Amino acid sequence: MAHTKKLLRSLAGETQTVPPVWMMRQAGRYLPEYRATRAKAGDFLSLCYNPELAAEVTLQPIRRYAFDAAILFADILLVPQALGADLWFVTGEGPRLSTITNAEGFAKLKRADDIHDHLAPVYETVKILARELPKDIALIGFAGAPWTVATYMIAGQGTPDQAPAHKLRIENPAVFDALMDRITQATIAYLLMQIEAGAEVVKIFDSWAGSLKGEAFTKYALQPTKAIITALKAKYPHIPVIAFPREAGDGYIGFAKATGADCVALDNSVSADWAAANVQIDGCVQGNLAPRHMVTGGQDLIDETKRIVKAFSGGPHIFNLGHGITPDANPDNVQVMLDAIRG
Protein backbone atom coordinates (compact mmCIF):
# COMPACT_ATOMS: atom_id res chain seq x y z
CA MET A 1 0.00 0.00 0.00
CA ALA A 2 1.37 3.41 -0.96
CA HIS A 3 2.31 5.70 1.93
CA THR A 4 0.28 8.87 2.37
CA LYS A 5 2.47 10.50 5.03
CA LYS A 6 5.18 12.64 3.45
CA LEU A 7 7.93 11.44 5.80
CA LEU A 8 7.20 7.77 5.10
CA ARG A 9 7.18 8.45 1.36
CA SER A 10 10.71 9.86 1.49
CA LEU A 11 11.86 6.98 3.68
CA ALA A 12 10.42 4.57 1.10
CA GLY A 13 12.68 6.17 -1.53
CA GLU A 14 10.33 8.69 -3.16
CA THR A 15 11.75 11.98 -4.46
CA GLN A 16 9.32 14.77 -3.55
CA THR A 17 9.29 18.29 -4.97
CA VAL A 18 8.68 19.65 -1.46
CA PRO A 19 10.53 17.50 1.07
CA PRO A 20 8.99 16.59 4.42
CA VAL A 21 10.43 18.55 7.32
CA TRP A 22 10.87 18.19 11.07
CA MET A 23 13.55 19.39 13.50
CA MET A 24 15.68 17.64 16.06
CA ARG A 25 14.68 18.93 19.52
CA GLN A 26 11.63 20.56 17.98
CA ALA A 27 9.91 20.13 21.33
CA GLY A 28 12.18 22.15 23.58
CA ARG A 29 13.31 25.20 25.44
CA TYR A 30 13.08 27.65 22.52
CA LEU A 31 9.25 27.41 22.79
CA PRO A 32 7.45 29.30 25.58
CA GLU A 33 4.73 26.64 25.73
CA TYR A 34 7.39 23.99 26.38
CA ARG A 35 8.90 26.01 29.22
CA ALA A 36 5.47 26.38 30.79
CA THR A 37 4.79 22.64 30.60
CA ARG A 38 8.22 21.78 31.99
CA ALA A 39 7.60 24.13 34.93
CA LYS A 40 4.33 22.31 35.53
CA ALA A 41 6.17 18.96 35.52
CA GLY A 42 8.73 20.22 38.05
CA ASP A 43 11.95 19.06 36.40
CA PHE A 44 13.23 17.47 33.19
CA LEU A 45 13.09 13.81 34.24
CA SER A 46 9.62 14.25 35.75
CA LEU A 47 8.53 15.58 32.36
CA CYS A 48 10.07 12.58 30.55
CA TYR A 49 8.24 10.13 32.81
CA ASN A 50 4.84 11.88 32.76
CA PRO A 51 3.08 10.43 29.70
CA GLU A 52 0.41 13.12 29.46
CA LEU A 53 2.88 16.01 29.73
CA ALA A 54 5.51 14.33 27.53
CA ALA A 55 2.84 13.82 24.87
CA GLU A 56 1.78 17.45 25.25
CA VAL A 57 5.27 18.84 24.59
CA THR A 58 5.64 16.45 21.64
CA LEU A 59 2.43 17.86 20.15
CA GLN A 60 3.21 21.54 20.79
CA PRO A 61 5.51 22.11 17.77
CA ILE A 62 3.08 20.15 15.55
CA ARG A 63 0.26 22.54 16.48
CA ARG A 64 2.46 25.60 16.02
CA TYR A 65 4.28 24.65 12.80
CA ALA A 66 2.55 21.63 11.21
CA PHE A 67 5.79 19.67 10.84
CA ASP A 68 5.54 16.45 8.88
CA ALA A 69 6.68 14.33 11.84
CA ALA A 70 6.58 14.33 15.62
CA ILE A 71 9.41 12.79 17.60
CA LEU A 72 8.76 11.22 20.97
CA PHE A 73 9.81 13.47 23.84
CA ALA A 74 12.28 11.50 25.98
CA ASP A 75 16.06 11.38 26.52
CA ILE A 76 18.78 8.98 25.41
CA LEU A 77 19.91 8.55 29.03
CA LEU A 78 16.67 6.93 30.16
CA VAL A 79 18.10 3.60 28.95
CA PRO A 80 21.16 3.67 31.25
CA GLN A 81 18.86 4.70 34.09
CA ALA A 82 16.62 1.73 33.28
CA LEU A 83 19.71 -0.50 33.36
CA GLY A 84 20.40 0.66 36.92
CA ALA A 85 22.61 3.74 36.60
CA ASP A 86 21.84 6.73 38.78
CA LEU A 87 20.77 9.71 36.66
CA TRP A 88 20.17 13.33 37.57
CA PHE A 89 20.37 16.70 35.87
CA VAL A 90 22.33 19.71 37.12
CA THR A 91 20.67 22.99 36.17
CA GLY A 92 22.69 24.81 33.55
CA GLU A 93 25.21 21.98 33.23
CA GLY A 94 23.33 18.92 31.97
CA PRO A 95 23.15 15.24 32.91
CA ARG A 96 25.13 13.37 35.53
CA LEU A 97 25.30 9.60 35.93
CA SER A 98 26.94 7.08 38.22
CA THR A 99 29.90 5.68 36.29
CA ILE A 100 30.75 2.24 34.90
CA THR A 101 34.53 1.86 34.69
CA ASN A 102 35.24 -1.74 35.75
CA ALA A 103 33.85 -5.26 35.93
CA GLU A 104 32.36 -4.69 39.38
CA GLY A 105 30.35 -1.72 38.15
CA PHE A 106 29.21 -3.56 35.06
CA ALA A 107 28.05 -6.55 37.14
CA LYS A 108 25.54 -4.31 38.95
CA LEU A 109 23.67 -3.44 35.74
CA LYS A 110 20.33 -5.04 34.97
CA ARG A 111 19.80 -7.39 32.06
CA ALA A 112 18.57 -5.86 28.81
CA ASP A 113 15.12 -7.43 29.11
CA ASP A 114 14.59 -6.06 32.62
CA ILE A 115 14.26 -2.41 31.56
CA HIS A 116 10.61 -2.29 30.60
CA ASP A 117 8.97 -1.61 33.97
CA HIS A 118 11.14 1.48 34.34
CA LEU A 119 10.43 2.65 30.79
CA ALA A 120 6.70 1.89 30.81
CA PRO A 121 5.79 5.62 31.00
CA VAL A 122 7.69 6.22 27.75
CA TYR A 123 5.73 3.48 26.00
CA GLU A 124 2.52 5.05 27.31
CA THR A 125 3.57 8.40 25.82
CA VAL A 126 3.98 6.71 22.43
CA LYS A 127 0.50 5.19 22.72
CA ILE A 128 -1.03 8.60 23.50
CA LEU A 129 0.74 10.17 20.54
CA ALA A 130 -0.32 7.38 18.18
CA ARG A 131 -3.93 8.21 19.11
CA GLU A 132 -3.71 12.00 19.15
CA LEU A 133 -1.40 12.96 16.30
CA PRO A 134 -3.05 14.23 13.09
CA LYS A 135 -3.40 11.38 10.64
CA ASP A 136 -0.94 12.88 8.14
CA ILE A 137 1.88 13.29 10.70
CA ALA A 138 4.40 10.47 11.19
CA LEU A 139 5.49 9.42 14.69
CA ILE A 140 9.22 8.90 15.29
CA GLY A 141 10.59 6.91 18.21
CA PHE A 142 14.28 7.03 19.08
CA ALA A 143 17.19 5.88 21.20
CA GLY A 144 20.82 6.79 21.63
CA ALA A 145 23.38 4.65 19.84
CA PRO A 146 25.46 2.36 22.06
CA TRP A 147 28.73 4.30 21.67
CA THR A 148 27.15 7.63 22.59
CA VAL A 149 25.25 6.17 25.54
CA ALA A 150 28.42 4.39 26.71
CA THR A 151 30.39 7.65 26.70
CA TYR A 152 27.99 9.09 29.26
CA MET A 153 27.88 5.92 31.36
CA ILE A 154 31.68 5.77 31.55
CA ALA A 155 32.38 9.47 32.15
CA GLY A 156 29.28 10.21 34.20
CA GLN A 157 28.58 13.28 32.05
CA GLY A 158 29.12 14.74 28.62
CA THR A 159 32.76 15.31 27.69
CA PRO A 160 34.36 17.36 24.89
CA ASP A 161 36.39 14.49 23.42
CA GLN A 162 34.89 11.34 25.01
CA ALA A 163 38.33 10.63 26.46
CA PRO A 164 37.16 8.42 29.38
CA ALA A 165 35.32 6.09 26.97
CA HIS A 166 38.28 5.94 24.60
CA LYS A 167 40.55 5.15 27.54
CA LEU A 168 38.34 2.29 28.74
CA ARG A 169 37.90 0.75 25.26
CA ILE A 170 41.70 0.69 24.81
CA GLU A 171 42.78 -0.30 28.35
CA ASN A 172 39.93 -2.64 29.33
CA PRO A 173 38.26 -3.87 26.12
CA ALA A 174 36.55 -6.78 27.91
CA VAL A 175 34.52 -4.46 30.14
CA PHE A 176 33.98 -1.94 27.37
CA ASP A 177 32.75 -4.54 24.88
CA ALA A 178 30.46 -6.07 27.50
CA LEU A 179 28.98 -2.65 28.22
CA MET A 180 28.48 -1.95 24.52
CA ASP A 181 26.73 -5.29 24.06
CA ARG A 182 24.44 -4.66 27.06
CA ILE A 183 23.47 -1.23 25.74
CA THR A 184 22.94 -2.66 22.25
CA GLN A 185 20.59 -5.37 23.52
CA ALA A 186 18.72 -2.89 25.75
CA THR A 187 18.36 -0.48 22.82
CA ILE A 188 16.86 -3.22 20.65
CA ALA A 189 14.38 -4.10 23.40
CA TYR A 190 13.51 -0.43 23.95
CA LEU A 191 12.93 0.38 20.28
CA LEU A 192 10.88 -2.79 19.72
CA MET A 193 8.55 -1.69 22.51
CA GLN A 194 8.27 1.81 21.03
CA ILE A 195 7.28 0.25 17.70
CA GLU A 196 4.74 -1.99 19.40
CA ALA A 197 3.30 1.10 21.10
CA GLY A 198 2.84 2.89 17.79
CA ALA A 199 6.10 4.43 16.54
CA GLU A 200 6.14 4.39 12.72
CA VAL A 201 9.83 5.28 12.32
CA VAL A 202 12.77 5.01 14.72
CA LYS A 203 15.95 7.03 14.81
CA ILE A 204 19.31 6.06 16.31
CA PHE A 205 21.27 9.06 17.59
CA ASP A 206 25.06 8.56 17.65
CA SER A 207 25.91 12.10 18.72
CA TRP A 208 29.59 11.34 19.44
CA ALA A 209 30.30 9.04 16.48
CA GLY A 210 32.69 11.62 15.08
CA SER A 211 35.30 10.93 17.75
CA LEU A 212 35.67 7.34 16.49
CA LYS A 213 38.17 6.94 13.67
CA GLY A 214 39.04 4.14 11.27
CA GLU A 215 38.51 0.64 12.63
CA ALA A 216 37.07 2.05 15.86
CA PHE A 217 34.30 3.77 13.88
CA THR A 218 33.47 0.50 12.13
CA LYS A 219 33.50 -1.53 15.35
CA TYR A 220 31.76 0.87 17.74
CA ALA A 221 29.53 3.04 15.52
CA LEU A 222 28.69 1.08 12.38
CA GLN A 223 28.48 -2.48 13.73
CA PRO A 224 26.24 -1.74 16.76
CA THR A 225 23.90 0.27 14.52
CA LYS A 226 23.79 -2.63 12.08
CA ALA A 227 23.03 -5.07 14.93
CA ILE A 228 20.15 -2.91 16.15
CA ILE A 229 18.65 -2.41 12.69
CA THR A 230 19.00 -6.12 11.83
CA ALA A 231 17.10 -7.07 15.00
CA LEU A 232 14.37 -4.48 14.43
CA LYS A 233 13.91 -5.46 10.79
CA ALA A 234 13.71 -9.14 11.69
CA LYS A 235 10.50 -8.42 13.59
CA TYR A 236 9.24 -5.26 11.86
CA PRO A 237 10.65 -5.20 8.32
CA HIS A 238 8.29 -2.40 7.29
CA ILE A 239 9.44 0.07 9.99
CA PRO A 240 12.05 2.49 8.57
CA VAL A 241 15.15 3.40 10.56
CA ILE A 242 17.05 6.69 10.42
CA ALA A 243 20.71 6.51 11.52
CA PHE A 244 22.61 9.60 12.67
CA PRO A 245 26.36 9.02 13.08
CA ARG A 246 27.02 12.71 13.74
CA GLU A 247 30.26 14.19 12.35
CA ALA A 248 31.12 10.90 10.65
CA GLY A 249 32.61 12.75 7.66
CA ASP A 250 33.67 10.19 5.06
CA GLY A 251 32.10 7.58 7.36
CA TYR A 252 28.72 8.70 6.03
CA ILE A 253 29.63 7.17 2.67
CA GLY A 254 28.12 3.69 2.44
CA PHE A 255 26.73 3.85 5.99
CA ALA A 256 23.17 3.11 4.88
CA LYS A 257 24.14 0.06 2.86
CA ALA A 258 26.48 -1.25 5.58
CA THR A 259 23.92 -0.94 8.40
CA GLY A 260 20.59 -1.44 6.65
CA ALA A 261 19.41 2.06 7.56
CA ASP A 262 16.61 3.48 5.40
CA CYS A 263 17.95 7.02 5.82
CA VAL A 264 21.16 8.66 6.98
CA ALA A 265 20.85 11.93 8.91
CA LEU A 266 23.64 14.42 8.21
CA ASP A 267 25.17 17.03 10.48
CA ASN A 268 26.12 20.44 9.08
CA SER A 269 29.88 19.78 9.01
CA VAL A 270 29.40 18.30 5.52
CA SER A 271 27.97 20.24 2.60
CA ALA A 272 24.67 19.32 1.01
CA ASP A 273 26.33 19.15 -2.40
CA TRP A 274 28.96 16.69 -1.14
CA ALA A 275 26.33 14.58 0.63
CA ALA A 276 24.10 14.49 -2.45
CA ALA A 277 27.01 13.16 -4.52
CA ASN A 278 28.35 10.70 -1.95
CA VAL A 279 25.56 9.67 0.44
CA GLN A 280 22.19 10.30 -1.22
CA ILE A 281 23.20 7.98 -4.07
CA ASP A 282 22.36 5.11 -1.67
CA GLY A 283 18.92 6.43 -0.69
CA CYS A 284 17.19 8.89 1.59
CA VAL A 285 19.17 11.51 3.48
CA GLN A 286 18.06 13.87 6.23
CA GLY A 287 19.45 17.33 6.96
CA ASN A 288 21.30 19.53 7.22
CA LEU A 289 20.75 23.23 7.97
CA ALA A 290 23.13 24.67 10.60
CA PRO A 291 21.15 25.31 13.83
CA ARG A 292 22.71 28.78 14.14
CA HIS A 293 20.38 29.96 11.36
CA MET A 294 17.48 29.47 13.77
CA VAL A 295 19.12 32.13 15.94
CA THR A 296 20.34 34.59 13.32
CA GLY A 297 17.50 34.32 10.81
CA GLY A 298 17.30 36.83 7.97
CA GLN A 299 17.98 36.33 4.29
CA ASP A 300 20.87 33.96 5.05
CA LEU A 301 18.38 31.53 6.60
CA ILE A 302 16.13 31.69 3.54
CA ASP A 303 18.98 31.35 1.06
CA GLU A 304 20.66 28.44 2.86
CA THR A 305 17.35 26.61 3.30
CA LYS A 306 16.58 26.89 -0.42
CA ARG A 307 20.14 25.88 -1.33
CA ILE A 308 19.88 22.67 0.71
CA VAL A 309 16.48 21.81 -0.79
CA LYS A 310 17.91 22.30 -4.28
CA ALA A 311 21.07 20.29 -3.57
CA PHE A 312 19.04 17.27 -2.44
CA SER A 313 16.25 17.66 -5.02
CA GLY A 314 17.53 14.77 -7.13
CA GLY A 315 16.65 12.08 -4.61
CA PRO A 316 14.71 11.25 -1.44
CA HIS A 317 15.28 13.91 1.23
CA ILE A 318 13.92 14.86 4.65
CA PHE A 319 14.67 18.47 5.58
CA ASN A 320 16.07 18.90 9.09
CA LEU A 321 18.79 20.72 10.97
CA GLY A 322 22.32 19.35 11.25
CA HIS A 323 21.84 19.06 15.01
CA GLY A 324 19.17 20.01 17.56
CA ILE A 325 17.60 23.45 17.62
CA THR A 326 19.19 25.50 20.43
CA PRO A 327 17.37 27.14 23.36
CA ASP A 328 18.30 30.63 22.11
CA ALA A 329 16.59 30.09 18.74
CA ASN A 330 13.86 32.51 17.66
CA PRO A 331 10.58 30.59 17.14
CA ASP A 332 9.71 32.98 14.30
CA ASN A 333 12.74 31.76 12.35
CA VAL A 334 11.31 28.25 12.28
CA GLN A 335 8.32 29.54 10.34
CA VAL A 336 10.64 31.44 7.99
CA MET A 337 12.47 28.17 7.30
CA LEU A 338 9.21 26.31 6.66
CA ASP A 339 7.98 29.01 4.30
CA ALA A 340 11.26 28.81 2.36
CA ILE A 341 10.88 25.01 2.03
CA ARG A 342 7.20 24.93 1.21
CA GLY A 343 6.96 28.13 -0.80
Question: Which of the residues are catalytic?
Answer: 25, 29, 38, 75, 152
SS3 248: coil
